[in-house]
Amino acid sequence: MPLTPTGEILLGARERKAGAGAFNVIQIEHAQAIVAGAEAAGLPVILQISENTARYHGSLEPIGLATLAIARRAAVPVAVHLDHAESPELVHEAVDLGFRSVMFDASTLPYEENVAATRAMTDHCHRRDVWVEAELGEVGGKDGAHAPGVRTDPDEARAFVAATGVDALAVAVGSSHAMLTRDAVLDLALVARLREAVDVPLVLHGSSGVPDEDLARAVRAGMTKVNVATHLNKAFTGAVRTHLGENASTVDPRRYLGPARTAVAEAVAHLLQVLGAQAPLADAPLIRT
């Protein structure tokens, strides 16, 4: 199946009042597992590669091209997205490789500088028919707008979207990146106010820390794109630990990466069903191992 534009997945989900799952790829097994989970659920999915992951692989191209190839072989609509890129050069590379959307993260900059940098990047990407997600932040550091306690102001969000022309906006409503427990408390009333304030899809980062029922409530309140990374990494690493604990003599990585891939696929299928109020796209195949 040809690569699907991210905007098509997000706007379709928003029209159906459903959520779109966006899952982070760290290595090729993640990309395979995420697509397998989406096929099992019969729902679209977004594969994301972060700037940190590109740095881990030495550059974006190796993991980016592998992920694009896996996406194009999928039996359901799949988009490939650059996540949390602070480097304009990395955004340009992703666009040249064929990514259909990028998140340009200038949220650590003061508001006016964030607007100017994001506007310039949006202009560049729109000339190449690529969607742009941005983050409206107030504090510096890795967490950006998703540090505990930070909230996005609806009026500022409205002004930011108008000034930058972005296609999707990551907002702070109570979640935080890299949470290992699922006990974040979302401000659902704020989600609804933000949905009324801006006419672009809202994005929830730090979703690994949010329990299933609250993810579903957030979608009903107006959230569209739901990003998940740490939750999948916990499933992946847990499966590896279990296998090696039970099979101490294993040396072939395929023996423990296979179960890890299956665990991630199952987690993806479950989360997509939590987020997706729409009917499956087609009869769902079994998850591949």
- Supply the residues annotated as catalytic: 83
Instruction: Give yes or no for residue 33 having a pLDDT over 70.
Output: yes
Residue 134 inside a domain? The answer is yes
Q: Between 172 and 278, where is the model more confident? A: 172
The arithmetic mean of pLDDT across residues 69-76, rounded, is 97
Instruction: Give yes or no for residue 43 having a pLDDT over 60.
Output: yes
Q: Two tokens at 7?
A: 């905007």
Residue 288 inside a domain? The answer is no
Instruction: Give yes or no for residue 132 having a pLDDT over 80.
Output: yes
Domain span holding position 226: 6-275
Residue 234 inside a domain? The answer is yes
Any idea what the CATH number is for the domain that residue 86 is in?
Answer: 3.20.20.70
**Is the Cβ–Cβ distance between 61 and 93 less than 8 Å?**
yes
Helical ranges in 103-229 per DSSP H = 111-126, 154-164, 188-197, 212-221
Residue 286 inside a domain? The answer is no
**Is the Cβ–Cβ distance between 210 and 176 less than 8 Å?**
no
Q: Two tokens at 78?
A: 């799949």
- Residue 193 makes CB contacts below 8 A (sequence gap 6+) with 154
The arithmetic mean of pLDDT across residues 126-137, rounded, is 92
Q: Two tokens at 176?
A: 């935080």
Tens digits of residue pLDDT in 267-277 = 999 999 999 85
pLDDT for the residue 109: 86
Q: What is the mean pLDDT of the chain?
A: 88
Residue 97 inside a domain? The answer is yes
Instruction: Give yes or no for residue 283 having a pLDDT over 60.
Output: no
Residue 269 inside a domain? The answer is yes
pLDDT for the residue 178: 53
Residue 73 inside a domain? The answer is yes
| Residue type (1 letter), 153 | D
**Is the Cβ–Cβ distance between 48 and 72 less than 8 Å?**
no
Tens digits of residue pLDDT in 198-237 = 999 999 987 777 888 889 999 999 999 999 998 999 999 9
Residue 108 inside a domain? The answer is yes
pLDDT for the residue 186: 79
CA distance 93 to 77: 23
**DSSP conformational letter for 208:** G
Tens digits of residue pLDDT in 88-111 = 999 999 999 999 999 999 988 888
Helical ranges in 181-229 per DSSP H = 188-197, 212-221
Domain count, the chain: 1
